[in-house]
Amino acid sequence: MISFSLFNYWAVIVLMMVGFYTLISRDNLVKKLIGLNIFQTSVIMMYVSFGKISGGTAPILVESGDHGVGDGHGGQITEDVAHSMVESAEVLYSNPIPHVLMLTAIVVGVATLALGLSLVVRINEAYGTIEEDEIVRQDNAA
Amino acid sequence: MSQNLPVLLVVVPMMLAPIAALINRSGPAWLIATTGTWFAFGAAVQLLRRVMAEGVIVYSLGGWAAPIGIEYRIDVVSAFVALIVSAIAAVGVLYARTSVASEIEEDRHALFYAAFLLNVCGLLGITITGDVFNVFVFLEVSSLSAYAMIALGQDRRALTSAFQYLIMGSVGATFIVIGIGLLFVMTGTLGMADLAERIPAILASGEGDRTIVVAFIFLTVGVTLKLALFPLHLWLPNAYTYAPSAVTGYMAATSTKVSVYLLLRFFFTVFGEEFSFGRMQLDKILMPLALVSILAMSLVAIYQSNVKRLLAFSSVAQIGYMILGISFGSVVGVAAGIIHLFNHAVMKGALFMAMGCVMYRIGSVRIEDMKGLGKTMPWTMAAFVGGGLSMIGVPMTVGFVSKWYLVQAALAEGNWVVAAIVMVGSLMALIYIWKVIEVAYFQRREHDDQIDEAPLTLLIPTWALVAASFWFGIDAGTTSDVAISAAESLLGMMQ
């Protein structure tokens, strides 16, 4: 049975396949790039899901009066975690590293898309079309 | 200064790139690119010396130790590959001055040199980093600059081949990110050294080892796409054919080599030989692909009429040799792969540069246009012959050294079939190199148009590589010592 507790990963898989299929099947170069972008975006969603802990808050050091360590003013702390941390109550937070990694991946994705689109512009100038089969036909004729 | 050499190796070319782009004049931009690449070359020589003498260099970026910060970890393998990349870049940038001037429009020269520097930075970054996500970032730096450089080719097909490479390269890079992400989920770390410690523990516990297997598969497919192993090589022939000559010579000698290095890193350092070859049985997948690659791509090369395209297909076949060496999983095999990595960089660089000289003079690299060039451009064609002898694997050339080790590795396993296929591959190389030589030396030029020898600015870098291919073929001890100690360090990491 499909496990709905992992629905975000199913969304990742669906997005990834939609992107990949578009990338492979479309002849239009811009559509190919859109497919590539969806494909890359699904990976971003995958990473963000990795970092998420249910009930976790943002990884910010929360000030506390007595201990100098966060005691849950940030809110989302679960009861049993709060009890188990008597001396220095810790805040349950999401792992920030995957999110930070994805900032880099987003930049890379933007750069790839920009370069790809500028290539498409130049291809359009050189061939007068952005349909792959038409480009192949022109190349073979030449 | 010398303490920070590992990071300067990457940072200097990176910082010089925008300066070259901003100055936006051909001459100064070339000077900056030359400074950057020769600095990197000097630094790489220093690093290899230090690693050979003192062992692994660990450098923590910004003073943050490994689990929190990014660390650069330089062992013999990475120093050796960094040296190959920076040496070829240093020769390539000298070659680029004249070649680029004739093939790329004036107002794009500065941008070309900026892209070139970024490419050097990315490739060197991949070789020395000890952090898997950092690998991805540098991979994209080098790939994006490579797409841009390929698109500068004269033929409009350069644009479509750059686009094709962009699509396939990005898919490969995304596969690598997925693999890295899955590893991170299971181990909570991105450092190669940490991963190498934690992955065996997870595999031993049996819990979640399917995720590791999936990560392994994603990484393998992603990296083999980047290094153009046989079924995933489709981007390479077009990209090499239509890129500017200087770019082809440089890229053919570096970018796929760095991907081969990455494969070694993941297989042996991160996952460990036991998992890669024992559990995943990589040898059973890689060896047939490598053999098919050698035979099929050499065959395709024989039927090409554009020499750059011929050499591009031959590159895919030669990558087959490297992967074949690795697929043995033994010290001799891996050493053979690493030696061939160096040797192929030298000889293919020389061959493509010789073709760049031909392109410079006659504006074409089709075989039928090369009639009689043996007489009119004797030095250029002699360089081609020199590189060609190495491709075939004639004794006293580097090509012979790599094939010697490959055959030894095959025979050590009693695998006569593989040894025979390596020989057949050499014979096929003889055919496709001979095709060019025959036309150039034994056919008369139809029109008596005046063709001069290529200028010295092109010939000297070309001959530097040809000379290297003979030097390291005769004095094979140096490279094979480094390669064997590199192979030992890769395989020894498990113990």
Tell me if B15 is assigned to some domain: no
CB-nearest partner of B159 from A20, A33, A126: A126
What pLDDT score was predicted for residue B24? 83
Residues of B whose CB is below 8 A from A121: none
Both tokens of residue B81? Answer: 């590959």
Shortest distance, CA A59 to any CA of chain B (angstroms): 15
Q: Do B178 and A46 touch (CB under 8 A)?
A: yes
Interface membership of A105 toward B (CB under 8 Å)? yes
A111: alpha, beta or left? (left if phi > 0; alpha if psi -120 to 50): alpha
Q: Do A43 and B178 touch (CB under 8 A)?
A: yes
CB-nearest partner of B167 from A32, A46, A135: A32
State how beta strands B71-74 and B57-60 pair: antiparallel
The predicted-structure confidence for A6-15, as pLDDT tens digits, reads as follows 788 889 999 9
So what CATH class is A1-52+96-142?
Answer: mainly alpha
What pLDDT score was predicted for residue B32? 92
Closest CA in chain B for residue A142: B157
State what percent of residues in chain B have pLDDT above 90.
45
> Which residue is it, tokens 């360089």?
B383
* Model confidence at B276: pLDDT above 90: no
Residues of A whose CB is below 8 A from B156: 123, 126-127
Size of chain B, expressed as the number of residues it contains? 495
- Is the full-model pTM beyond 0.80? yes
Three-class SS of residue B151?
Answer: coil
Q: Do A119 and B181 touch (CB under 8 A)?
A: no
In whole angstroms, give the CA distance from residue B441 to residue B267. Answer: 45
Task: List phi, psi (to 5°) of A96.
Answer: -80, -20
Domain boundaries, chain A: 1-52+96-142, 55-93
In whole angstroms, give the CA distance from residue B24 to residue B107. Answer: 8
What pLDDT score was predicted for residue B363? 83
CB B270 within 8 Å of CB B132: yes
Which of A20-24, B165-169, B268-272 has the least mean pLDDT? B268-272
What average pLDDT is seen over chain B?
89
Q: How confident is residue B284, by pLDDT bands cut at 50, 70 and 90? A: confident
Both tokens of residue A135? Answer: 């480009």
Shortest distance, CA A129 to any CA of chain B (angstroms): 12
Q: Do B160 and A36 touch (CB under 8 A)?
A: no
What pLDDT score was predicted for residue A81? 45
Q: Do A119 and B133 touch (CB under 8 A)?
A: no
End-to-end Cα spacing for chain B = 34
Q: Do B171 and A101 touch (CB under 8 A)?
A: no
The predicted-structure confidence for B363-409, as pLDDT tens digits, reads as follows 888 888 888 888 888 888 999 999 999 988 888 888 898 888 999 88
What average pLDDT is seen over chain A?
79
The predicted-structure confidence for A71-121, as pLDDT tens digits, reads as follows 444 444 444 444 444 444 567 888 888 888 899 999 999 999 999 999 999
In whole angstroms, give the CA distance from residue B250 to residue A137. Answer: 31
Q: Do A104 and B151 touch (CB under 8 A)?
A: no
Both tokens of residue B139? Answer: 């991979």
Three-class SS of residue B109?
Answer: helix
Q: Do B171 and A36 touch (CB under 8 A)?
A: yes
What pLDDT score was predicted for residue A75? 43
The predicted-structure confidence for B5-64, as pLDDT tens digits, reads as follows 888 899 999 999 999 999 888 889 999 999 999 999 999 999 998 988 888 888 888 888
CB-nearest partner of B151 from A20, A112, A119: A119
Mean pLDDT of A19-25: 92
Shortest distance, CA A85 to any CA of chain B (angstroms): 23
In whole angstroms, give the CA distance from residue B56 to residue B74. Answer: 6
Higher pLDDT pick, B280 / A33: A33
The predicted-structure confidence for B192-245, as pLDDT tens digits, reads as follows 888 888 888 888 887 778 888 999 999 999 999 998 888 888 899 999 999 999
Chains A, B: CB pairs < 8 Å: 68
Tell me if B256 is assigned to some domain: no
Tell me if B104 is assigned to some domain: no
Interface membership of A9 toward B (CB under 8 Å)? no
* Chosen from B111, B137, B147, B159 to mutate, greatest number of chain A CBs within 10 A: B159
User: B408: buried, middle or exposed (CB in 10 Å: 19+, 13-18, 0-12)?
Assistant: middle
CB A53 within 8 Å of CB A93: yes
What pLDDT score was predicted for residue B159? 93
Q: What residue numbers bound the domain in which B327 lies?
A: 281-495
- Count how many domains chain B has: 1
* Model confidence at B493: pLDDT above 50: no
What pLDDT score was predicted for residue A4? 66
What pLDDT score was predicted for residue A41? 92
The predicted-structure confidence for B254-267, as pLDDT tens digits, reads as follows 999 999 999 999 98
Q: Do B148 and A115 touch (CB under 8 A)?
A: yes
> Which residue is it, tokens 């690449």?
B37
* Model confidence at B142: pLDDT above 90: yes
